[in-house]
A and B are shown apart, each in its own frame.
Chain A
Amino acid sequence: METATTVLLWVAGLLLATTAVLCLWRVIVGPSILDRMIASDVILTTLMLVVGAEMAINSHTRTVPLMVILAGTAIFGTVAVSRFVTKPIEASEAPSVAGAEDRP
C-alpha cells in the first residue's frame, strides 16, 4: 500500500479514537440525561464508522449486516429514553393533578 494512503488511514483511525474518548467524557460528566443520550448516540455512530473503516481498509463486506442493524436500531434507545425524560420537580411547583385543588 502507498505510504500516503497508510498515513491517511492512521489519521482517520486517530480521529475516530479521539471522538470516542471525548464522547465518553461527555457521557461521564453529563450534566443532563439528554447530554448523555446524545453523546452515547455519537459513540454508536463512531462505532458504525469504525466498522465501516475497517471494511474499507481490508476491502471486504463481511460486517455490512452489523452496520445495517446498527443504523436501523440505534433509534430505539434514544427515543425510549427521551420519551421518559421529565423536568426535575422543584418544591415550589409540586405536582398537581388536574383540578385536584378544587376538590374537598
Chain B
Amino acid sequence: MIDVYLSGVIGTTGAEPLDAVLDLVSALLLVLGGFLSLAAAIGLMRFPDALARLHAATKPQILGLIAIVVAIALSVRSWQALLLLIPVVVLQVLTAPISAHMVGRAGYRTGTYNPDGLTADELAPDLDDAQRVFVEPAPELGGRRLPSDDDQARSRRDDEGRGAL
C-alpha cells in the first residue's frame, strides 16, 4: 500500500516533468544537429570553389554529431549508453581532420581555389623549390661528380620543402 502510494507520488510529480524536459532538450539538440547539417548543405550550394565548400562541410561532422550524440544520451538516460556513444565522437574527431587534410591538399595542388582569397600562401615557395629538383636532368651514368657543399645544402633544403607538401 505504501509502495503504491510512494511510486504514485514519484511517478506523477517527480519523474514525468523531468522526462518531458529531457525529451524537449533532446529534440532541441536534434534540431541543432539538423540546422548545422543544413548549413553545410547551403554552404555546398553557394560557396564558389572546393576549398571553400570543404570549410562548410566540416560543420555537421563534429558539432552536429556531438549534438546528436548528446541527444541520444539524454533520450536513453543510462551510463552504458553514454559509454557506447563516446567511441563515435572519438573516431569522428580523429578521422575527420585527416580526410579534410587530404581533400584540401588535392584541392590546392589541382588549383580548384581562388588565389585572390588567400592572405598568405606559405606552401607555394616550398612547392616551387621541390618542383625545380624534379625537372633537373639526372646525372649520366658513370659521369657522376661528387656532391659539393652547395649541392648538399640545396638537397637538405629541398627535403624540407618536400616534407611540407
Chain A residue contacts of B23, Cβ below 8 A: 1-2, 5
Residue from A25, A38, A75, A102 within 8 A of B137 (CB atoms) = A102
Residue from A12, A25, A42 within 8 A of B60 (CB atoms) = A42
**What mask results when residues 56 to 87 of chain B are scored 1 for a CB within 8 Å of chain A, else 0?**
01001100110011011011100011001101
The reply to whether B41 and A23 contact each other, CB–CB distance below 8 Å, is yes
Is there a chain A Cβ closer than 8 Å to B138's Cβ? yes
- How many residue pairs between the two chains, A and B, have CB atoms under 8 Å in the bound complex? 200
Residue of A nearest to B113 (CB): A34
Alpha-carbon distance A61/B31, docked complex (angstroms): 20
The reply to whether A74 and B95 contact each other, CB–CB distance below 8 Å, is yes
Determine which residue in B27, B75, B107, B109 has the highest number of CB atoms from chain A within 10 A of its CB, and name it.
B27
Chain A residue contacts of B138, Cβ below 8 A: 98-99
Is there a chain A Cβ closer than 8 Å to B9's Cβ? no
The reply to whether B91 and A72 contact each other, CB–CB distance below 8 Å, is yes
Is there a chain A Cβ closer than 8 Å to B124's Cβ? no
Chain A residue contacts of B137, Cβ below 8 A: 98-99, 102
Chain A residue contacts of B98, Cβ below 8 A: 75, 79
The reply to whether B34 and A19 contact each other, CB–CB distance below 8 Å, is yes
Secondary structure dominating the interface of B: helix
Alpha-carbon distance A22/B45, docked complex (angstroms): 7
Alpha-carbon distance A18/B42, docked complex (angstroms): 10
Residue of B nearest to A73 (CB): B95
**What mask results when residues 80 to 105 of chain B are scored 1 for a CB within 8 Å of chain A, else 0?**
11001101110110011011001101
Chain B residue contacts of A102, Cβ below 8 A: 137
Residue from A13, A34, A67 within 8 A of B50 (CB atoms) = A34
B contact residues vs A (CB 8 Å cutoff):
20, 23-24, 26-31, 33-35, 37-38, 40-42, 44-45, 50, 53-54, 57, 60-61, 64-65, 68-69, 71-72, 74-76, 80-81, 84-85, 87-89, 91-92, 95-96, 98-99, 102-103, 105-107, 109-112, 134-138
**Sampled A-B contacts (7; CB under 8 Å):** A9-B30, A23-B41, A41-B99, A42-B44, A52-B68, A67-B88, A79-B99
A contact residues vs B (CB 8 Å cutoff):
1-2, 4-5, 8-9, 11-16, 18-19, 22-23, 25-26, 32, 34-35, 37-39, 41-42, 45-46, 48-49, 52-53, 55-57, 59-61, 64, 67-68, 71-72, 74-75, 78-79, 82-83, 85-88, 96, 98-99, 102
